[in-house]
A and B are shown apart, each in its own frame.
Chain A
Amino acid sequence: GNSVTQMEGPVTLSEEAFLTINCTYTATGYPSLFWYVQYPGEGLQLLLKATKADDKGSNKGFEATYRKETTSFHLEKGSVQVSDSAVYFCALRILTGGGNKLTFGTGTQLKVEL
């Protein structure tokens, strides 16, 4: 089956620190990969995505590269801000006859302190 594994949180960083949130996946086919972000009490928002190997998704200073050889899609940001505090979800999608079904990881909470 398909699955996504994320590093457990919470991850606590000081403002302007470098962020890495690890994400690895197992898939029966050739997935598209996504990072979603959830701010407290809200729904999820797409942060970035990549649809084929070696693609780099980027948005708001965050980036992630689709690594097929290591089945990974790690999220990075060079300098985090307090406003980046949220829960981050890695997800994959395999194109099947069953529609646009996303498989999510368990989420990683990020806390950024001054």
Chain B
Amino acid sequence: DGGITQSPKYLFRKEGQNVTLSCEQNLNHDAMYWYRQDPGQGLRLIYYSQIVNDFQKGDIAEGYSVSREKKESFPLTVTSAQKNPTAFYLCASSINGIDRGETQYFGPGTRLLVL
């Protein structure tokens, strides 16, 4: 079955620690995205990538970093510079990030908690 997988489901971060969230897709999609979801605030875009080895900042990129070395993978690192990292993180992908009505497909999410 094609889809998007995110791991782990829950992740705990200690103060000053960097943590990496995994996102893998086997949909053969060119475009991938990371969103952050906080209660009562909807989803906000962190980073997105339309092609391998290229990515752009979204609306709330500070304290986060990404890489896109393979088409299938788009890992997100939450750095120690992100002072309020507790949130639900959602990865998504779409065919090419160009078409007007293009659907984004979402993974099941990773919940990050700070110890």
Binding site for B on A (CB under 8 A): 4, 32, 36, 41-46, 49, 51, 89, 93, 95, 98-102, 104-107
Contact of B109 among A43, A98, A104 (CB under 8 A): A43
Question: B42 to A49, Cβ gap below 8 A?
Answer: no
Query: Interface with A: B11-19, B60-68, B96-104, which one?
Result: B96-104
Q: Would A32 and B109 be within 8 Å (CB), given that A44-B90, A101-B58, A106-B42 are in contact?
A: no
Inter-chain contacts of A36 with B (CB < 8 A):
106
**Chain B residue with Cβ nearest A102:** B104
Contact of A89 among B31, B43, B101, B109 (CB under 8 A): B43
**Chain A residue with Cβ nearest B38:** A106
Query: Distance (Å) between the CB of A53 and the closest chain B CB?
Result: 13
B82 near A: Cβ within 8 Å? no
Inter-chain contacts of A32 with B (CB < 8 A):
100-101
Q: Would A106 and B45 be within 8 Å (CB), given that A32-B101, A51-B101 are in contact?
A: no
Query: How many residues belonging to B are interface residues under a CB distance threshold of 8 Å?
Result: 30
Inter-chain contacts of A89 with B (CB < 8 A):
42-43
Query: Distance (Å) between the CB of B23 and the closest chain A CB?
Result: 11
The CA-CA distance from A42 to B98 in the complex, in Å, is 26
6 pairs from A and B in contact (CB 8 Å cutoff): A44-B43, A44-B92, A51-B101, A100-B31, A100-B94, A102-B104
Query: Distance (Å) between the CB of B104 and the closest chain A CB?
Result: 6
Question: B42 to A100, Cβ gap below 8 A?
Answer: no
Question: B100 to A102, Cβ gap below 8 A?
Answer: no
Contact of A101 among B40, B45, B105 (CB under 8 A): B45
Q: Report which residue of A32, A44, A45, A51 has the largest number of chain B beta carbons within 10 angstroms of its beta carbon.
A: A44
8 further A-B contacts with Cβ under 8 Å, apart from A41-B109, A44-B90, A102-B104, are A43-B6, A43-B92, A44-B92, A99-B48, A100-B31, A100-B102, A101-B45, A101-B58
B85 near A: Cβ within 8 Å? no
Inter-chain contacts of A51 with B (CB < 8 A):
100-101
